[in-house]
Amino acid sequence: MTAQPIIENFKNYLPLNKEESSLLDKRTTQRQIKRRQMILQENFVCKHYTFVVKGCFKMYSVDEKGCEHNISFAVENEWIADLGSFYSEKPSKLFIEAIEPSFILQIEKQDLLYLFVNVSKFDRNFRVIIEEKFIELQNRLLQNISSSANQRYLDFLEQYPQLALRLPNTQIASYLGITPEFLSKIRSETHIK
């Protein structure tokens, strides 16, 4: 069954029965993604919700100077999409790129809407997943406006201990809104590698 990793993930919320699982399976596609391959580029419409089975992705924007600004990361058993572009069907201002070779499952908009209407558990599960992501982004925004760079780094390590081991310093620095050089200085001062 193609959608088995999503079905397993939904056991953390409201598990799907056989019929619901079958409906999901028929509306899910799988893809192998190479390192540095894009699944969304700026100025294109985000057409899929993407579930990461294996690998790591970053969602980011690029400013007029060519600097990347990481907004979020997604690893195994997490979803990633530009929700604004997905629902408005307007071109995205973001990129979604694989940091590692990855295996993903994707659901297109019309299939997702079908599942929301026909499988109430799916609608409920997605609402909880999106609420959790919203809380995460809200906490990150609060940290960015009220915490020092040092504290943001310590919070990142606490919240994402495994992710910190998988990402290069440049990606972590971009996420924290600091330079890689400043991150190196923070790391040496806190004696955390």
Determine how many CB atoms are found less than 10 A away from the CB of residue 117. Answer: 10
- C-alpha 178/C-alpha 70 separation (Å) is 11
- The residues facing 54 across adjacent strands are 103
pLDDT score at 191? 61
- Best CA proximity match to 85, nearest among 57, 127, 129, 44: 44
pLDDT band at 189 (very low <50, low <70, confident <90, very high): confident
pLDDT score at 162? 85
In sequence order, the 6+-apart residues with CB closer than 8 A to the CB of 109 are 47, 48, 86, 87, 89
pLDDT at 165 over 90: no
Q: Which of 121-125, 173-177, 187-191 has the lowest average pLDDT?
A: 187-191
Which residue type occupies 191? H
Q: Select the more confidently predicted residue: 26 or 162.
A: 26
pLDDT in tens, 18-71: 999 999 999 999 999 999 999 999 999 999 999 999 999 999 999 999 999 999
Q: Which of 15-19, 23-27, 154-158 has the lowest average pLDDT?
A: 154-158
Q: Select the more confidently predicted residue: 160 or 107.
A: 107
- Could you tell me the pTM of the whole model? 0.91
- Per the structure block, which two tokens stand in for 74? 């997604």
pLDDT band at 188 (very low <50, low <70, confident <90, very high): confident
